[in-house]
Amino acid sequence: MQIMVMDLEATCFEDPKERTRKEIIEFGYSTVALDDNTKEYRVISDGISIIIKPRRSYVSQFCTELTGWTAKELEDNGIGIQSAWDHINEIWKTPITRYRVWVSWGMYDYNMIVEESSRLGRSMPLPRPFHLNLKTLYAVARGVKPMSVGAALEREGINFVGRPHRGADDAYNSAILFCLLMNENVKARR
């Protein structure tokens, strides 16, 4: 079984009045699999990024500073949101991949997918009933308040790989935490 650990980045603004204009600009994901021999979970793909051109919003200076994405990079390298939805659908349904669950750090990503799907008039590219909120799972497992991916990694003594607020990097780091929790659970059951 493989699990998709994903993280979205969206247009973002310092001014609270503009925060309602957010839209997805990056869909990052990493893949986790259960090793049949060791029965442990491991990350099998580094963070992968699907870059999306904004269509009804723009990339503010604040957003560029936070995510590293510039309007030019998104325009030059991004695809349209409809194409991104098609691509994500294909990834999810690929027989080789056979994802059964998708995971995100908190509910922001899930809610953004719901909102964007509604705006597009399309079904969600990832099935609703197969979503796990890793932020809550981590907090419950550790008996702590919910925290950021970076704070959770620091708490575990693990260095963040890449750049925070890059979807592919956040997904990869979340996948590391997912494996940590799942492997502890596997060992506890032995």
- What digits encode the pLDDT tens for the residues 15-30? 887 777 789 999 999 9
Residue 70 structure tokens: 């510039």
Q: Do 23 and 117 form a contact (C-beta atoms < 8 A)?
A: no
Task: Give the SS3 label for residue 163.
Answer: coil
What is the reported pLDDT for 115? 92
Query: How wide is the angle at C-alpha 83 spanned by C-alphas 64 and 93, nearest 5°?
Result: 115
Domains of the chain by start residue, with CATH: 2-189 (3.30.420.10)
Q: Cβ contacts of residue 59 below 8 Å, gap of 6+? A: 11, 25, 69, 70, 71, 74
What is the reported pLDDT for 18? 78
What is the reported pLDDT for 99? 64
Question: Regarding beta strands 131-133 and 99-104, do their DSSP bridges make them parallel or antiparallel, or are they unpaired?
Answer: parallel
pLDDT confidence bin for 68, thresholds 50/70/90: very high
Range among 4-18, 22-36, 156-170 rated most confident: 156-170
Within 13 Å, how many C-alpha atoms sit on residue 110's CB side?
18
pLDDT in tens, 35-53: 888 889 999 988 999 999 9
Distant-in-sequence contacts of 95-100, Cβ < 8 A, 24+ apart: 97/2, 97/31, 98/1, 98/2, 99/2, 99/3, 99/4, 99/31, 99/130, 100/1, 100/2, 100/3, 100/130
Torsion over CA: 15, 20, 24, 28 (sign): positive
What is the reported pLDDT for 153? 98
Phi, then psi, of 173 in degrees rounded to 5: -65, -35
pLDDT in tens, 96-150: 556 678 999 999 999 999 999 999 999 888 877 889 999 999 999 999 999 999 9
Residue 165 structure tokens: 């607020």
pLDDT for 189 beyond 70: no
